[in-house]
Structure 1
């Protein structure tokens, strides 16, 4: 009765004035309209279609859950394949029946689409352009983060590059781009190759997120081992599904899909824990994972909600996730650089005064010598020694002496430019090096510091403490490579000035 009703509707449509008939119905395995997705079960499936067309139409369907489509037609009917990212065929006009035979890889529902040829070509071109743009984005992001990883010598960023490249190539295969470019290379269109890259995508994503959020340090050994083992199992099942014969490959594919969900959920739980422990960038990673899980749900469990979301939700989610993870990687770089600078400053700073210690000052001074050799100009070096510092300690105590050194260091910082380097070699000895573009600038700097330190009165713990300093200074115009020689020369100039003060 249902079959007769469908045929009656088709006949009535033929009598509609001005109508353009484009109608096919599915007669087997279950009689239904073509707009209703076909329920699939594992194995070989024959779909018989009855068509009554007055203009040629394009029939197409995705190849993500089926493979090796074959068309069987009556002798007087010619159905030719179309170049497309999907499986597509040009159906001629007329009234005829044909059979579509498929190898079903996953027991889901297969949507068939019938549309005018011009509309099909427009959709196909837009699809190829979108997927090609996505692939280009994946390559650019992987190179960007890979370069970051190389600069930091951090293998975790290489895992991101591998993840994005694997995801990009998986979707290029999944969405049939290579099917258009290389139609005769059947191995490029195989389900097995897609599953290999699907496994690589899951495994490399786990590796990157684990390294980014430092799961190895954050989680217990057995918790971290579960995440790693599950991701490795997905990778192994992907490889297994590519090489074992049917139906074992189909069962491996099903198990791989379920285990992928397990990996995603364990990553979500671990990332939530990382957020609780205030691990940097955990929030961005969690948002990316939720987007990906939502897209997977649309792809697998809610295919009828929206054809667009069913087809593109996962690609859009991976694109957003790629950006979010790239931002997270960039923030990680900034954090590492900040920590590195902080560690350097802690190692290079004087423990008492707000200036560099001897090691930090010598490293900075050697860089300034190198800049002077390259750019020219003039180097100013000053060696400063507080007069009668031992008597201050003996008379007022070391606390007053330390405060006097701190105040002197602050005065020196105030008299110098931000790019000048001020250091404390030890005790009451301070050094300054500055790169100037003219001798006059250097001379004015020396005179300013000498005038400021000629006679000071410091207020420390209700004590008015008169202090002064001896300064050795020189302006260097010739390139130098040995800092110790310059330091010794300037020290000798300071010593000469100190001796002259003692003679007065």
Structure 2
């Protein structure tokens, strides 16, 4: 009896041990050639044709998938009783049936590298694949929209930096769309779209345009020493050249070009980050946003290249998320830069077009604005009112009270004209005591009212300067123009003649 119980115990333990040691292999696939290893280990890929043999023990159908960075034109060979179905995916993917069997995967490679393969159930694979396609497609659409917007903005501003930014966004978008295999779903038979060569070109273009944009945005050429600026500039050029070299059909150059691209890219990124930090300390406008963007990108590069096993999501998507964040931050920096440039331009324009003494436009500024108003009048119709104003006996004020009082008199007259004119009217000083006002009115009645208001206000004035009450009057030559006119000098001459007629009539 005891012997029977002992025998059953022995059989039970044996079965348990068999189940324990056989279950991992039964629910998994292993690589048996060119060398035995598990799928969890990266597979060494050699140059040329690669034959990879698998041995599977599957209790249910699973999906084998791997990226096409290193392997191109994959094909599967099995026995007659095993059907392995290729799936539409951004990665190479095959539906493996349940059972125990072996099969061979054959693929070409144009450079030596490593590839990671994964084995998942069909539901998990489809969920992850759909999420991946949605994420990368959204990223690609974002890049195209941002590229078009910034390109239009750069064209309107005639700024080469915005063209470089558009090139950077477009290159980055295409690189990641190619890298993540989205085009493989649309063009599965176009193998060059999935190859290493075109990705290398876009990788080089992305680095070059990014460095170029930042140097132009922050005017690094003006604040750095020549050799410091040339390190950044030539880093981008060299990476772009290495990308082109890596795309050439010369096998020994691929590995060398790839290694050098990574090194030179790192040098360029560190150099431009240090330069941006220096620009930030120098209080260059927008440098803070650019510095944050570069630090985010550098952190993502570290996760992607040097810490691949820390987190699967970060390894796969950190760089894409970082480029998206960087693009937004650089767009903010560019926008702030544009606002600053527009503000500086406006201030320069106002300084060039404003009268140095009175709060009105000078002759140049007034004539430019008047020409614009005349063009608007020609297109939209209405009536133009032109007033030519000259102070009466201004020389006597200067001789009696001094030039300082004379200048204050001109300032007071300019303020009166501003207060009696509408916000859209143009008030200017041609020189000396000669002022002009142009108004675009909807009708002749409106023009007459504006004319009467200003003319009446300038009759028999008494102004107070330094406790002195000074009588003041002005002669006004008014001209109302109904038909479109494009010769401002003729209009001014006619209004000037009318002003002198009024001055002589007043005696």
Regarding TM over 0.5, the answer is yes
Distance 1:12 1:256 in 2: 45
Q: 2:190: which partner in 1?
A: 185
Contact 1:10-1:52 at 8 Å conserved across structures: no
Q: 2:438: which partner in 1?
A: 433
Give the one of 36, 39, 42 matched to 1:38.
42
Q: 2:390: which partner in 1?
A: 385
Contact 2:72-2:191 at 8 Å conserved across structures: no
Deviates more, 1:274-283 or 1:462-471: 462-471
Please state if 1:152 is matched with 2:157: yes
TM-score when normalising by structure 2: 0.89
Q: 1:128: which partner in 2?
A: 133
Q: 1:347: which partner in 2?
A: 352
Q: 1:295: which partner in 2?
A: 300
Q: CA deviation at 1:118?
A: 3.6
Deviates more, 1:481-490 or 1:64-73: 64-73
* Equivalent position SS for 1:267: helix
Equivalent residues in 2 for 1:375-454, closer than 5 Å: 375-454=380-459
Q: RMSD over aligned Cα, in angstroms?
A: 2.6
Q: CA deviation at 1:48?
A: 5.2
Q: 1:163: which partner in 2?
A: 168
Contact 1:457-1:466 at 8 Å conserved across structures: yes
Give the one of 129, 140, 143 matched to 1:138.
143
Q: 1:243: which partner in 2?
A: 248
Contact 1:369-1:480 at 8 Å conserved across structures: yes
Q: 1:116: which partner in 2?
A: 121
Name the CA shift for 1:342/1:169 in 2 (closer, same or farther; >3 Å).
same
Distance 1:196 1:13 in 2: 43
Distance 1:64 1:315 in 2: 16
* Equivalent position SS for 2:177: helix
Please state if 1:282 is matched with 2:293: no
* Equivalent position SS for 1:481: coil
Gaps of 5+ in 1: 15-20
Q: 1:365: which partner in 2?
A: 370
* Equivalent position SS for 1:279: coil
Name the CA shift for 1:268/1:6 in 2 (closer, same or farther; >3 Å).
farther
Contact 1:385-1:430 at 8 Å conserved across structures: yes
Contact 1:242-1:249 at 8 Å conserved across structures: yes
Give the one of 469, 477, 491 matched to 2:482.
477
Deviation digits for residues 216-240 of structure 1 (CA, Å, limit 9, x no counterpart): 2221211111111111111111111
* Equivalent position SS for 1:382: strand
Q: 1:269: which partner in 2?
A: 274
Give the one of 8, 15, 22 matched to 1:11.
22
* Equivalent position SS for 2:337: helix
Equivalent residues in 2 for 1:286-325, closer than 5 Å: 286-325=291-330
Distance 2:328 2:393 in 1: 63
Contact 2:392-2:473 at 8 Å conserved across structures: yes
Name the CA shift for 1:255/1:67 in 2 (closer, same or farther; >3 Å).
farther
Q: CA deviation at 1:125?
A: 2.7
Name the CA shift for 1:124/1:192 in 2 (closer, same or farther; >3 Å).
same
Distance 1:273 1:462 in 2: 56
Q: CA deviation at 1:253?
A: 0.5
Q: 2:470: which partner in 1?
A: 465
Equivalent residues in 2 for 1:188-267, closer than 5 Å: 188-267=193-272
Distance 2:17 2:320 in 1: 37
* Equivalent position SS for 2:486: coil
Contact 2:43-2:116 at 8 Å conserved across structures: no
Name the CA shift for 1:285/1:256 in 2 (closer, same or farther; >3 Å).
same
Q: CA deviation at 1:272?
A: 0.8
Q: CA deviation at 1:409?
A: 0.6
Name the CA shift for 1:227/1:37 in 2 (closer, same or farther; >3 Å).
same
Give the one of 482, 496, 499 matched to 1:491.
496
Contact 2:110-2:251 at 8 Å conserved across structures: no
Please state if 1:336 is matched with 2:341: yes
Distance 2:68 2:94 in 1: 13
Deviation digits for residues 84-129 of structure 1 (CA, Å, limit 9, x no counterpart): 2112222222113445567495756x44221122432332233223
Deviation digits for residues 366-413 of structure 1 (CA, Å, limit 9, x no counterpart): 111111122122212111111111111112221111111111111111
TM-score when normalising by structure 1: 0.90
Distance 1:176 1:259 in 2: 26
Contact 2:90-2:184 at 8 Å conserved across structures: yes
* Equivalent position SS for 1:243: coil
Instruction: Count residues with an aligned counterpart.
Output: 490
Q: CA deviation at 1:460?
A: 2.1
* Equivalent position SS for 2:247: helix
Q: 1:18: which partner in 2?
A: none
Distance 1:433 1:393 in 2: 28
Deviates more, 1:453-462 or 1:311-320: 453-462
